[in-house]
Structure 1
Amino acid sequence: MKILVAIKRVVDYNIKVGIKTDGSNVDIDGIKMSANPFDENAIEQAIRLKEQGKADEIVAVSIGSSANQDVLRHALAMGVDRALLVEHDAEVQSLEVAKLLQSVAEKEQPDLIILGKQAVDDDAGQAGQMLAAILNYPQGTFASELTIENGEAIVTREIDGGTETLALQLPAVVTADLRLNDPRFVKLPNLMQARKKPIETLSASELISELTPRLSLIKVAEPPQRKAGIKVDTVDALLQQLRTKEGIAL
């Protein structure tokens, strides 16, 4: 079984980003970048399936500029077998990501595709579902457990009020939640070895002809600051404050 894992390069989750002075976007110049945490869960689960003898090959793919090689080498250091970079210097949105991954999937013919459930930069949470729809594959989103049994992917996912278990006929698309596993620590010797491994490169324009964004970013702004609270001694005083200060009819 071959597994395809998609990785996005995002601002490291420990970093607090600021906003550009003109409000056009967040300012990431000189900011530490890393693999999307949910995608690390996807990588870890793919490696565990291989260690269990359920998979023969794991291919990691990332979409972006040559800078994305760092997250692919991180995946190689974790234990994936091959890395593939779809080069595109401009921003790609969820639908374009899904279409590019569709082209990669048609080329690689994986039995299972695993993505993070969302990226921590835009929190869209759309690419996996769009990819499954385009490929007409069954999908298991927000997976907290994933096993392979009798040619099916058994996915446990969290829903409102409980969990749901699905049996997906392969090939299938699964999106990983943080509860799926704890990604392994990457050792320095593995990182050094990963630097020597080749990364296959494809041009995004060769895979799909239409890469025009369908959404435009108008403005980025800080959320409004909360007003200072006050303390009251009695319920009557609280009700009076709500009526006079907040205009709430009680």
Structure 2
Amino acid sequence: MRVLVAVKRVIDYNARVRVKPDKSGVDLKNVKMGMNPFCEIAVEEAVKLKEGGSASEVVAVTIGPKAAGDTLRTALAMGADRGVHVLEDGEVQPLAVAKLLAALTRREEATLCMLGKQAIDDDSNQTGQGLAGLLGWPQATFASKVVVDREAGRASVTREVDGGLETLSLKLPAVITADLRLNEPRYATLPNIMKAKKKKVDTVTAQELGVDITPRLKLVKVEEPAKRQAGVMLSSVKELVDRLRNEAKVI
């Protein structure tokens, strides 16, 4: 069973995000970049499936400029067997990403697609669902536990919902998106980082895959959130009610 796992290069979650002066987007100059945390979780789960004998090969895929190759090498250092880099310098929106992944899934004849539930740069939470729709495969999103029965051709996925936990039984092939509590990603060790440099990475373009990635959405403006006023300590419930009535005017 071949597992296709998608990884995305995003601004490091510890970095301070700055909006461009013209408010046309986020300033990426001189900002530390890294793998999307949810993608790390997806890679870890895919590698664990291989280590447990449920998968035979893990193929990591990234879409983006040449610099995104570093993110792909990180996935290889974590344990992915080989990589595919869809080289695109322009904007690639969630639907286009889903189309590219669908084309690669068919080309690689993958049985399972693993993705992070969302990327921390745009928080769209659309790609996994879109991919499942394009492939016509069953899907399980927000996975907190994954068990694959290779012989039965099924996967049992526990997912987090508002009411608690929900367990789904999926017939493979399927699409699974990883949530925060699915696992704790391993660190890429120096020996594995060196080994990753020798692993095979194929480079393709959207045109070669026959996919139209023309943006369908127009970004109007990006603004930083309004600064919140500092809170105050009140001495009594009476004072709280008075402020809610006379200042906030909510009661």
Q: Deviations over 1:181-220 (max 9, x none)?
A: 1111111121122123331011112223421111111111
Q: Which of these residues, 203, 214, 217, is aligned with residue 216 of structure 2?
A: 214
Q: Deviations over 1:6-44 (max 9, x none)?
A: 111111112121111221111111111111111111111
Q: Which amino acid aligns with 2:133?
A: A
Q: Which of these residues, 206, 209, 228, is aligned with residue 226 of structure 1?
A: 228
Which stretches in structure 1 are left out of the alignment for 5+ residues?
Answer: none
**Secondary structure at the residue paired with 1:180?**
coil
Q: Report what 1:14 is aligned to.
A: 14
Matched, 1:188 2:190: yes
Q: Deviations over 1:100-153 (max 9, x none)?
A: 011001100111110000001001110000000110000010000001122101
Cα distance in 2 for residues equivalent to 1:40 and 1:223:
28
Cα distance in 1 for residues equivalent to 2:4 and 2:231:
51
**Secondary structure at the residue paired with 1:114?**
strand
CA shift in 2, pair 1:232/1:81, >3 Å: closer
Q: Deviations over 1:150-192 (max 9, x none)?
A: 2101100011121111111110000001111111111112112
CA shift in 2, pair 1:209/1:49, >3 Å: closer
Cα distance in 2 for residues equivalent to 1:114 and 1:53:
16
Which stretches in structure 2 are left out of the alignment for 5+ residues?
Answer: none
Q: Which amino acid aligns with 2:241?
A: L
Q: Report what 1:100 is aligned to.
A: 100
Q: Report what 1:51 is aligned to.
A: 51
Cα distance in 1 for residues equivalent to 2:228 and 2:75:
41
Cα distance in 1 for residues equivalent to 2:18 and 2:71:
23
**Percent of matched pairs sharing the same residue:** 53
CA shift in 2, pair 1:202/1:243, >3 Å: same
Q: Report what 2:153 is aligned to.
A: 151
Cα distance in 1 for residues equivalent to 2:199 and 2:53:
23
Q: What is the number of residues matched between the two proteins? A: 249
Q: Report what 2:248 is aligned to.
A: 246
Cα distance in 2 for residues equivalent to 1:75 and 1:228:
42
**Secondary structure at the residue paired with 1:96?**
helix
CA shift in 2, pair 1:224/1:53, >3 Å: same
**Secondary structure at the residue paired with 1:154?**
strand
Q: Which amino acid aligns with 2:118?
A: Q
TM superposition score normalised by structure 1: 0.95
